[in-house]
Structure formats: C-alpha cells, structure tokens
Amino acid sequence: MLRPPVRERLAFREAGPGQGRRDHRPTAARTGRETSWFTKTFKVVADEFPVILQCNQTQAVYIRLIFGAMEESIEGAVMTTQFAAAEQTALVPESELPEPRKSIVDDFAGYRALRRRIADVQGNGQEVPFFQPRDGVSHSVIRRQEKSLISYSGYNYLGLSGHPAVTAAAKNAIDKYGTSASASRIVAGEIELHGELEQKLANFLGTEDALVFISGYLTNVSVISHLLARPDAVIYDSGAHNSIITGARLSGAKVFTYPNGDWDALDKLLTENRASFRRGLIVAEGVYSMDGQILDLKRAVEIKRKHDVLLMVDEAHSLGNVGATGRGVREASGLSADSIDVYMGTLSKTPASSGGYIAGDRGLIEYMRFLCPGLIFSVGLSPADTAAAMAALDILEREPHRPRRLRERARYFRKVARDNGLTVFGDEESPVASLIVGDDKLAMLLSQRLFDRGFDIQPIVRPAVSASTARLRFFLTANHTEEQIGETLPIVAQELEKLRRSAE
Ligand code: PMP
C-alpha cells in the first residue's frame, strides 16, 4: 500500500486526464494530451518507487511502470509496495510479450510481469518448478516424474500424514459422517468431532477453549480482521505471513511493522505510537516460515505487557515441533499459558490435516464462534480433516520422541551445512532452514540441478521473498535420516559452487 501522504499527493489523479472522471482505460488507450498529467504522476510515484529512476528504459516503458505501480498499489492488489516495485522492473512493452493478447488480465501489470518471468524460465530450457504433482505421501523420499527423490519440500514434520492410525481415523470419519460437513457449523454442519478436536487442542495448549476453521490462511485473515477495527492497531514484523498482513489490512486498523527480531525497534515503535490507537495486537510467529527463526516469546511478552497490547502467536510451524513435548513456543519459554492472548495454528503441518485453529480464553472463543465471518459463513471442517487432526494430536501426546528427533535432525542438518561451507538461516533447532542464493534465476536453476541429482528442494522467489533473498527452503522432518542429510548437503554445495562459477 502507498503511504497516506502519497495517496493524498495522488488525489489529483481523480480529476486527471479524463476531466474529472477517473480514467480506467489501459495505458495504451490514453492520448498524448495527457502527458503533463503523466509527468506529475510520475514525479509522485518515482518518489515512492525510486527503483524506476534506475531503469534504463524508454519513456513509454516508464509510463507503463507508473501505471503498473499505481495499479498494484492503489487498486488494492495484494503485493506489498516493496515487491510491487520490484515487479515493475520486469515489465516489457506488450509488443515484446511472447504470447498474443487473449485474456481479460493481459492489461494487469502483475500478470504481464508473471508471463515475462515464466517465459524467462522456459527460455532458459528450465521447467517452471511450481505446481509439479508428486506421487504418494509427502515423506523424506517422494516420487515425482517417475523419479525417486529425497525431499525437503513438505511440512509433514513428524511424519504423521500417512501414519496408519491417522489414515484409519479419517476413513472411519468418512464412513460415519460422509466427506463434507455439508453446512456451516452454526446451522447444521456441527458434528461431535469438531467439539472433541477443540477440547483436545485447548487441553494440549493449556487454554480454556479453542475453535477450528477450514483453513489456516482463513483463520488469520478472519480472526485478525474481526478482532480489530479502525481505532485499533495491528503490529507485525518483516517476516509476517501473508495471511497476517491480509487480516490486518482487512481489519481497517492501523498497521505498524518492525524488523523481525528487533525488540528494541518494537519497543520504540510502541513508545512513540501507543497513544494513537485503542487496542493493539502484536502478531508474531512461533517459527518463521521463510527464515526459520524461533520466536523469543519472553521478549515479546515483556513488550506486550509494558505497552498494554495483546499478543497473538501463529504456531503454524512450531506446534508439535518446538518445546519438549511439542506444545510450542510457550512450552519452550516456560511462561504461563496466559502469556499469549490468542494462540493460532494450522492443522496442515504437524497435525497432518487441513484447517486452522485459535485457542485462548472462553470469551474470545465464544465471540469468534458466534460472530467471526470466516467461521459462520463457511462450511465446517470436513469430518476426515477433523478426525485426522485428532488422531495426529493423540500420537503426538503419546510419542514425544517425535518432536525430539525432529530437533536433533535440525541440529544435525545445520552442522553438516556448516561443514560444507553453507550458511543456512534459522535457529539451530528450527524445522525451517533457508539457503539464501540471492537471485531468482539462480534459485530456480539450483533447484532444477538438484532435482536432476535426486533431490526435491523448492526454490522460494518473488513475491514470496524479495529478489535479493531468493532461496532454497528446506523443511526438516523427524523422518529425515542422518544419511539422507549427509548425502544431500555436499551435493547442494557442489551444485551451488558450479552455478556461481559459471555465472562469473
Ligand atoms: N501461517 C503461517 C505462518 C503459514 O506458514 C501458513 C502456510 N503454510 C499459514 C498460516 C496458512 O496455513 P494453511 O496453509 O494451513 O492454510
């Protein structure tokens, strides 16, 4: 989003070249007499996106860049300012696009940038590494394109997806209840399993109650946007998941951001701004899904208490993995259960299912159960998903060696990475490890070379991360053996070195 002052400076656009009417036509349809308006717009947008001043391109392309930036930012597209600006550098005149215009989105800046990037990858003789189907369960070895691969791309952290007891529970639930909840829970979609799973989650986390939703993403978007409103503020850090950012934006509350892990910056931000909002919610993640840092909960709680704001922790990647028995960052910190105001997590990772949950005090859960739009206007969690998550939590409770083994593997992975001269991001015991390669193309090429050598490691590129932090991301699981890790990392180091040399 553009900062408010820039929005105000762009207000003349409303009365722009269309003499008072807003001109929604594509750039190509606009005329020469609009040039001074473009120049004025350009100055304001260039101020916001200085990257466009560095491009060595024609004026026509500059104008395209301006509108690209404005479309992305003003018309409310999802990319952040930083990524939108980066995207613009990839734009080319339509005449150079590889395919004829044929879609209703051909005029969208984001779509043009996407087509260009896909064409670039294919032009390099590579396959687009996304949406590639695999066969079978996501374990440490998978099959893709008839090849057997050691895989680091799935977050089946404790190997519970595919566990016979979890599979049997899901099948039994289908036999008993069918494949769909067939209604929103508030009307006729409620089944006993929903309440049982919520009770189980609350007991596991030590909270008064819990509530499950049909998607983790939806949980953040819907809960954050329902909990906060205009005089309030949502505060998150630079590593925040898109679902948190979207929830904050939809809430209408003020948004404040700070660099991930910079607690002094957060403290200062709140000291300076606390008086400007009513309720505040800090949203942090137990394990950051891109860089793999584990939350310093003690610092977060200290600051939230000092400034009298609430704390929500997204435990998508920490539930089941962090803490002696997998109860997450609260258990690892030794703090009391009420240190976190809103526990949030997904059922799609360690719980081997799909869906999301929040947990907390009874009032919070009742408020959301009856009034949260993402719950009451959406179907109930499917019987199979509900039963699978319950069975997975049962196993987790009975078998604490699973999270222990995952943490040992994570430590081992980082040791072997260091031995091979690789620097990976993330805390020693974190199940997420990122090898930054710093360039989208290099990340995709490296992933492809590793695929050819028998490894499945996903590249993470724009807009999920900024171009300069393009990376290979490893999800480490309790199922990875030391042998697999020992086999993988020397080859990753070799292939990276080869690619870097050939780029020189
Ligand atoms: N929060 C975080 C931190 C995530 O990484 C994800 C996605 N992996 C989500 C929320 C959304 O969860 P889901 O994919 O289960 O919808």
Residue 204: partners with Cβ closer than 8 Å, 6 or more residues away: 327, 393, 396, 397
Return d(Cα 487, Cα 368) in angstroms, integer: 48
**Distance from the alpha carbon of residue 242 to the mean position of ligand 1, in angstroms:** 9
Confidence of residue 75 (pLDDT cuts 50, 70, 90): very low
* Best probe residue, ligand 1, of 156, 220, 241 (max atoms within 8 Å of C-beta): 241
Residue 219 CB–ligand 1 contact under 6 Å = no
226 or 24, which is more confident = 226
Domains of the chain with bracketed CATH: 4-123 (no CATH), 141-153+401-503 (3.90.1150.10), 164-398 (3.40.640.10)
**Distance from the alpha carbon of residue 291 to the mean position of ligand 1, in angstroms:** 14
Minimum CA distance residue for ligand 1 atom 15: 216
Of the candidates 280, 316, 311, the residue with the CA atom closest to the CA atom of residue 298? 311
Roughly what angle, to the nearest 10 degrees, separates helices 297-306 and 263-273? 10
pLDDT at residue 20, as a whole number: 44
pLDDT at residue 125, as a whole number: 86
Residue 216 CB–ligand 1 contact under 6 Å = yes
pLDDT at residue 35, as a whole number: 43
Query: 498 in helix, strand or coil?
Result: helix
**Distance from the alpha carbon of residue 197 to the mean position of ligand 1, in angstroms:** 19
pLDDT at residue 318, as a whole number: 98
- Whole-angstrom CA distances from 106 to 68, 103, 112, 219 are 12, 5, 6, 32
**Distance from the alpha carbon of residue 246 to the mean position of ligand 1, in angstroms:** 13
| Per-range mean pLDDT, top range of 1-5, 12-16, 84-88, 225-229 | 225-229
**Distance from the alpha carbon of residue 215 to the mean position of ligand 1, in angstroms:** 8
Return d(Cα 302, Cα 266) in angstroms, integer: 11
**What mean pLDDT do residues 347-368 have?**
98
Return d(Cα 19, Cα 166) in angstroms, integer: 64
Residue 289 CB–ligand 1 contact under 6 Å = yes
152-206, pLDDT tens digit by residue?
999 999 999 999 999 999 999 999 999 999 999 999 999 999 999 999 999 999 9
Return d(Cα 197, Cα 387) in angstroms, integer: 8
**What mean pLDDT do residues 24-39 have?**
48
Residue 348 CB–ligand 1 contact under 6 Å = yes
Return d(Cα 58, Cα 468) in angstroms, integer: 25
Of the candidates 193, 217, 208, the residue with the CA atom closest to the CA atom of residue 342? 208
22-36, 211-225, 290-304, 387-401: segment of lowest average pLDDT: 22-36
Question: Which residues are marked as active site?
Answer: 289, 317, 349
77 or 356, which is more confident = 356
Q: Which helix (H) or strand (E) holds 449?
A: helix 440-452
| Per-range mean pLDDT, top range of 2-6, 28-32, 83-87, 335-339 | 335-339
465 or 318, which is more confident = 318
**Distance from the alpha carbon of residue 433 to the mean position of ligand 1, in angstroms:** 16
Closest-lying ligand 1 atom to the alpha carbon of residue 288:
3
Residue 494: partners with Cβ closer than 8 Å, 6 or more residues away: none
Confidence of residue 482 (pLDDT cuts 50, 70, 90): very high
Mean pLDDT of the residues in the chain:
87
Query: 23 in helix, strand or coil?
Result: coil
pLDDT at residue 126, as a whole number: 84
Return d(Cα 234, Cα 251) in angstroms, integer: 9
**What mean pLDDT do residues 253-280 have?**
98
* Best probe residue, ligand 1, of 217, 295, 322, 358 (max atoms within 8 Å of C-beta): 217
Return d(Cα 308, Cα 286) in angstroms, integer: 21
Type of residue numbered 106: D
Tokens of 138: 């996501």
**Sheet of strand 141-144: strand arrangement:** 141-144, 147-151, 455-456
9, pLDDT greater than 50: yes
Residue found by looking up tokens 């993330």 in the block: 426
Return d(Cα 406, Cα 431) in angstroms, integer: 7
pLDDT at residue 467, as a whole number: 86
232-257, pLDDT tens digit by residue?
999 999 999 999 999 999 999 999 99
SS (H, E, C) 119-148: HHHHHCCCCCCCCCCCECCCCCEEEECCEE
Closest-lying ligand 1 atom to the alpha carbon of residue 349:
15
| Phi, psi dihedral angles at 402 (to 5 degrees) | -65, -55
pLDDT at residue 13, as a whole number: 47
Overall pTM surpassing 0.85 (yes/no): no
Identify whether the C-beta of residue 229 lies closer than 8 Å to the C-beta of residue 249: no
Closest-lying ligand 1 atom to the alpha carbon of residue 347:
15
Minimum CA distance residue for ligand 1 atom 14: 216
Query: 485 in helix, strand or coil?
Result: helix
pLDDT at residue 250, as a whole number: 98
**What mean pLDDT do residues 122-135 have?**
89
**Distance from the alpha carbon of residue 491 to the mean position of ligand 1, in angstroms:** 30
Minimum CA distance residue for ligand 1 atom 4: 316
Residue 316 CB–ligand 1 contact under 6 Å = yes
b/e string for 170-208 if b means 16 or more Cβ within 10 A? beebeeebeeebeeebeeebebebbeebbebbbebbebb
19 or 365, which is more confident = 365
pLDDT at residue 97, as a whole number: 58
Handedness of CA 324, 326, 332, 338 (dihedral sign): negative
**Sheet of strand 356-360: strand arrangement:** 209-213, 356-360, 342-346, 310-314, 280-285, 233-237, 254-258
Identify whether the C-beta of residue 194 lies closer than 8 Å to the C-beta of residue 188: no
445-476, pLDDT tens digit by residue?
999 999 999 999 999 998 888 889 999 999 99
Tokens of 199: 């009770």
Sequential DSSP letters for 222-286: HHHHHH--TT-EEEEETT--HHHHHHHHHHT-EEEEE-TT-HHHHHHHHHHHGGG-SSEEEEEES
Residue 462 CB–ligand 1 contact under 6 Å = no
Angle at alpha carbon of residue 260, lines to 420 and 312, rounded to 5°: 120
Share of the chain above pLDDT 90, in %: 75
Closest-lying ligand 1 atom to the alpha carbon of residue 155:
8
Residue 241 CB–ligand 1 contact under 6 Å = yes
pLDDT at residue 464, as a whole number: 86
Minimum CA distance residue for ligand 1 atom 1: 316
pLDDT at residue 361, as a whole number: 98
